[in-house]
A = this chain, B = another copy of it.
Amino acid sequence: MDLRRIARETCDTLVNYLTYQAFRVILDQLQETNPAQHIWLQHFSARYSFQYSSDYLQALYKEKPDLALRIMTVRAALVEDMADSLPEMSRTSINQANMALRRTMLEHLTQMSDPISEEESPPS
């Protein structure tokens, strides 16, 4: 298990995802302040994947540098605000998700067990 590689790739995924969230923040702002630019940004962004957020921002910069800089500023603010809560939140999320799945699996097993096998081993 290559933990260094996994950590690096997880971080890249976080950067790409926060870029997507920053794009959505800017898109929401434009809907109120500049509907024409809102539609433009929506159409432009549909041509790119946020899995390659760096390529997306470079392409956006060539077309509308102000929008690229706004998205970069928002993603920096997002990571600043949220980073410290990520360890606790991600641990809790995974543990809760694992518990919920184990519960579902247990219920599935209980439903599978037939009355005969239950009679074979009554509580003593």
Point out residues on A near B: beta carbons under 8 Å.
Answer: 1, 3, 6-7, 9-15, 17-18, 21, 25, 53-54, 57-58, 61-62, 65, 68, 72, 74-76, 78-91, 93-95, 97-98, 100-102, 104-105, 108
Contacts and interface: CB of A to CB of B under 8 A. Distances in A.
A98 B86 CA distance: 21
A20 to B, nearest CB: 9
A4 to B, nearest CB: 10
Given A65-B105, A87-B87, A25 B12 contact: no
| Interface SS of chain A | helix
A91 B95 contact: no
A94 B15 contact: yes
B98 A90 contact: no
A53 to B, nearest CB: 8
B15 A10 contact: no
Given A65-B105, A87-B86, A97-B54, A81 B3 contact: yes
A83 B79 contact: no
Contacts of A6: 21, 78, 82
Contacts of A101: 54, 57-58, 61, 68, 72
